[in-house]
Structure 1
């Protein structure tokens, strides 16, 4: 019985001892390395950063960092595969010399990160780290190389016509390798101008673990309206082989003087069409008004066409186009004239006096009408014509000898671009002149009557004297009386 109990106790102790041995944690290795990330994708022409940290025994002081580029087959940590050696740089392969550098040169900080500049296609593969000649870490990191797809960044500030501005093109990648070549290219209306810029600036930014370099170029110019909607391309070339570019479209704030087009002369009952156009960015607000009144007729944007149907004479006047562009106000104006058919006004007519007929024709219309007298076509001699204009009224006067017009009907014809009007003028006699002539005739008749009486008296007197003379002669006194008669005569 005691034998069985002893055996059971011994078996129980053996099992407990075995369980305690399996549960004990493994002893941590002092040699560890961590990659973040373990897989890296780099683009041709840019750079790749292998970010890593490592540990080592406390009694070890690291003095050199060695990186190997592993071959497709075979052992990696061999001298022929060294791509970086911090203590002896000459040991690095020719293709990697001056392309690889530590981001942290103080190895006591346990940072093994390196940057590989000017990435090439044959840089793809696995890499392994070794701490001096003490220990090669078995864990590896892989770099994949892809085509260059990143684009440069073009910074475009707000552009205003007449104000100098600067465009900035920043090359992709924060690499300290070979500086890229940056080219600016303008593409406007049919133009293709290439301009190389030498003012490439390098900026360095540094933090606790990395130091990166930025390459950028600036282009300074004074924008104008012609630059609006122009395309500007920034092209970046790495290692003379890998090119990328970015194109931006410029938006320039500008405004030109407003222009008014349309027919400023319109016939009555016709249609008035006026268009106010302004070239601007952003688009301007346009308002039409008449005679400077504040009440707008119509509001538009960019192109404003004012249309009025069945216009009347009251639509004549000044039309003002007001343009509001941001904080700037501009105006343009035009004067509209409504044309209408001539009208022969009251007061037109003819007066026949003193053997001369004078006719006056007064006509009004827009534009000013032309007055024509058909009577002048029949009487080309001894006629006079005068014309005067007062506002929209035209005064035309003709004088024709009465004996030449032969009672022809006097007609006034007035015409302008709208049409022609005709009117027969009434001919009136000057009655005051006729009465004067009648009085003169009566005076002549009266005078003739008086002459008859005087003649009779003179004849009678002469006859009486002759008889008296004869009688005296018979009495011997003739000579005296004859002498008196001779003296009297």
Structure 2
């Protein structure tokens, strides 16, 4: 038989043996009492040290108070047994366990004061010692029927041949000390039932002498059995994912009664499930000759699946008495951090990223940005959310989520892209000289990079260059045909933006053929012809000192003609310079004056007259002479009229002056012939 530890838990000291034999001599009683307390104190200290070591090695979740009571129960039972083994049968009087009552001087019994309380399924100890005038050979215990005045129902007889013992008590009651001669009548009742409650009475007998028997009616032991309230004790070591672990379930009580049935149940999601790869083993540990500890172990490989689930240990005793203890498994595990949320966001929107690290205990999660300062952004336990409102392009980059679990650190990274686009720009000189290189770069800052395309504005829409983010338009040795409008188109997120540039190719040719200076009749005429774009400006630097000269400028397409005329003076030794410039280039040429070869330098200079000039002068002279003759004739007639001799003198005047008229006409004609070339 074994002790049940839970009997001690429920009612404290009431479940322990408390009666000592009455010592006949007070000196021996005091000495033994002192020795008893010393042994008790030492034993308790040793058990406490052992318990502290057990706690450090195996943490207990639940039932720790029950376990402490169990240890106390074991210690006190052991001390009680030792005391009774060392006790003296001739002691009498009061003891530390109870009150000694005597029916006669030779027949005394010591029982526990008050009622002994215990729980169903466990055990109870009735401490007892007695004195008798004879030496008994066996002990009988009766359970008293409250309806009867005499206790006649035997529940225990140390004489195994006694068939009168009630069947419900057979095998459940035993003596703590089998040697009856030592007068220790303490018994332990195992596999308690609530029907075991009642009064118990002692009787001793001498087997060989029927007359030698005595029933102690002066005192009875009171036992009260209630329903089982104690739970099994489940010991759980530290649990870590991937490791094998063993859980221990210890049945309540330290009794040596029937071995209880211990079962394990794993509850997942509110349903009973089977643990994969588990190993269970039952164990009975004999603590003393009369005490035992019943336990069961469960060994299995841990995973994160077990975290937060419940393990139940159920202990079933005789008489359908069942108790169970449920504990929650806390498994140390961790998962790599995961980042949830969109890493691509438009400029001005909200960036929202959550980093979660599933683990137990919860990991410390930290957000950092990969910058020179390494600024810590957000910190939380188990999960951290990174929020940036009205996000800008500067928020683009790599963000790191760091999860610290116990002494392990894991990382997760997110590359954040902010979608944005700046204004399209064209860099380069749009005005270039003919023969040089045209180099224009069209670019736009954006994310993702924009597709850049160059086209020339013409009837065919010629495609020139295409690139990503930036496109360069390069034309070597440009000509006038390269002038025109060029269009840069940037495509970003299915949207187009265009900008136009006007390219101007500037050029200036040399002074064209047909340019030069000519001197006729003291009139200097110079002509300068030039081409270019933009239109050139023609200047005559050497003529700026002359007071009177005229300039005529004519333009045709890209050609400019400048004619300058200078009157009077001696221009024979002059040189004239023509300067053409359009702001980008300059052309110069010096002209030598060409003279008319028909002029005579010796004597009076008479110009040769062409037939056209002679005919023209003749007709002019005729007209003038006719006009002059008319005027004279008119004058003469008027004079004669005034004198009254008009008719007689007309004929005479005309005859006398005909020769004069002819001479005047010839003189006028000759003068016009001389001056006509100079008009």
Matched residue SS, 2:415:
strand
Contact 1:183 1:236 in 2 (8 A): yes
Indicate yes or no: 2:332 matched with 1:253. yes
Query: CA 1:425 to 1:294, structure 2 compared with 1: closer, same or farther past 3 Å?
Result: closer
Query: CA 1:89 to 1:259, structure 2 compared with 1: closer, same or farther past 3 Å?
Result: farther
Q: State the number of aligned residues.
A: 396
Partner residue in 1 for 2:127: 51
CA RMSD between the two structures: 3.6
TM-score for the superposition, normalised by structure 1: 0.71
Partner residue in 2 for 1:83: 155
Indicate yes or no: 2:137 matched with 1:63. yes
Alignment of 1:440-455 (within 5 A): none
Q: Per-residue displacement from partner, 1:103-155 (whole Å, max 9, x unpaired)?
A: 11122333211122222343222211111252111111122232222211111
Query: CA 1:84 to 1:338, structure 2 compared with 1: closer, same or farther past 3 Å?
Result: same
Alignment of 1:357-396 (within 5 A): 361-371=442-452, 379=460, 383-389=462-468, 393-395=469-471
| 1:167 corresponds to which of 243, 247, 255 | 247
Q: Once the 2 structures are TM-superposed, how far is the Cα of residue 102 of structure 1 from its aligned partner?
A: 0.9
Partner residue in 2 for 1:205: 287
Partner residue in 1 for 2:367: 288
Contact 2:231 2:324 in 1 (8 A): yes
Q: Per-residue displacement from partner, 1:338-372 (whole Å, max 9, x unpaired)?
A: 22214323337889999xx9986433311111346
Contact 1:341 1:420 in 2 (8 A): no
Query: CA 1:132 to 1:117, structure 2 compared with 1: closer, same or farther past 3 Å?
Result: same
Indicate yes or no: 2:500 matched with 1:428. no
Matched residue SS, 2:168:
helix
Q: Which runs of 5+ in 2 are unaligned?
A: 1-101, 207-212, 476-480, 514-529, 531-679
| 1:224 corresponds to which of 298, 303, 324 | 303
Contact 1:342 1:366 in 2 (8 A): no
| 2:173 corresponds to which of 62, 84, 100 | 100
Query: CA 1:346 to 1:95, structure 2 compared with 1: closer, same or farther past 3 Å?
Result: same
Q: Once the 2 structures are TM-superposed, how far is the Cα of residue 377 of structure 1 from its aligned partner?
A: 11
Alignment of 1:126-165 (within 5 A): 126-133=199-206, 134-138=213-217, 139-165=219-245
Query: CA 1:375 to 1:286, structure 2 compared with 1: closer, same or farther past 3 Å?
Result: same
Q: Per-residue displacement from partner, 1:232-269 (whole Å, max 9, x unpaired)?
A: 11111122622211111111112211112222223333
Contact 1:76 1:128 in 2 (8 A): no
Matched residue SS, 2:188:
strand
Indicate yes or no: 2:305 matched with 1:305. no
Matched residue SS, 2:171:
coil
Q: Once the 2 structures are TM-superposed, how far is the Cα of residue 375 of structure 1 from its aligned partner?
A: 6.7
Query: CA 1:408 to 1:435, structure 2 compared with 1: closer, same or farther past 3 Å?
Result: closer
Q: Which runs of 5+ in 1 are unaligned?
A: 1-25, 400-404, 443-489
Q: Once the 2 structures are TM-superposed, how far is the Cα of residue 218 of structure 1 from its aligned partner?
A: 0.6
Q: Per-residue displacement from partner, 1:143-177 (whole Å, max 9, x unpaired)?
A: 22322222111111221222221111111122222
Matched residue SS, 1:314:
helix
Q: Per-residue displacement from partner, 1:304-344 (whole Å, max 9, x unpaired)?
A: 11222333333222211222222112222122222221432
Alignment of 1:228-247 (within 5 A): 228-239=307-318, 241-247=320-326
Q: Distance in 2 between matches of 1:156 and 1:242?
A: 25
Matched residue SS, 2:181:
helix
Contact 1:345 1:364 in 2 (8 A): no
| 1:215 corresponds to which of 273, 281, 294 | 294
Contact 1:340 1:418 in 2 (8 A): no
Matched residue SS, 1:426:
strand
Q: Distance in 2 between matches of 1:376 and 1:131?
A: 131
Contact 2:484 2:503 in 1 (8 A): no
| 1:411 corresponds to which of 474, 480, 487 | 487
Query: CA 1:255 to 1:27, structure 2 compared with 1: closer, same or farther past 3 Å?
Result: closer
Matched residue SS, 2:385:
strand
Partner residue in 2 for 1:344: 424
Q: Per-residue displacement from partner, 1:392-429 (whole Å, max 9, x unpaired)?
A: x2327699xxxxx9x99643332323965331222323
Indicate yes or no: 2:119 matched with 1:39. no
Partner residue in 2 for 1:262: 341
Query: CA 1:177 to 1:127, structure 2 compared with 1: closer, same or farther past 3 Å?
Result: same
Partner residue in 2 for 1:318: 398
TM-score for the superposition, normalised by structure 2: 0.52
| 2:189 corresponds to which of 96, 101, 116 | 116
Q: Distance in 1 between matches of 2:459 and 2:167?
A: 117
Q: Distance in 2 between matches of 1:110 and 1:417?
A: 104
Q: Distance in 2 between matches of 1:331 and 1:37?
A: 69
Contact 1:102 1:114 in 2 (8 A): yes
Q: Distance in 2 between matches of 1:89 and 1:226?
A: 59
Q: Once the 2 structures are TM-superposed, how far is the Cα of residue 221 of structure 1 from its aligned partner?
A: 1.6
Query: CA 1:115 to 1:418, structure 2 compared with 1: closer, same or farther past 3 Å?
Result: farther
Q: Per-residue displacement from partner, 1:63-97 (whole Å, max 9, x unpaired)?
A: 2111112233335454xx22111123443222222
Q: Distance in 1 between matches of 2:415 and 2:205?
A: 94
Matched residue SS, 2:384:
strand
Q: Distance in 1 between matches of 2:203 and 2:170?
A: 18
- Higher-Rg member (1/2): 2
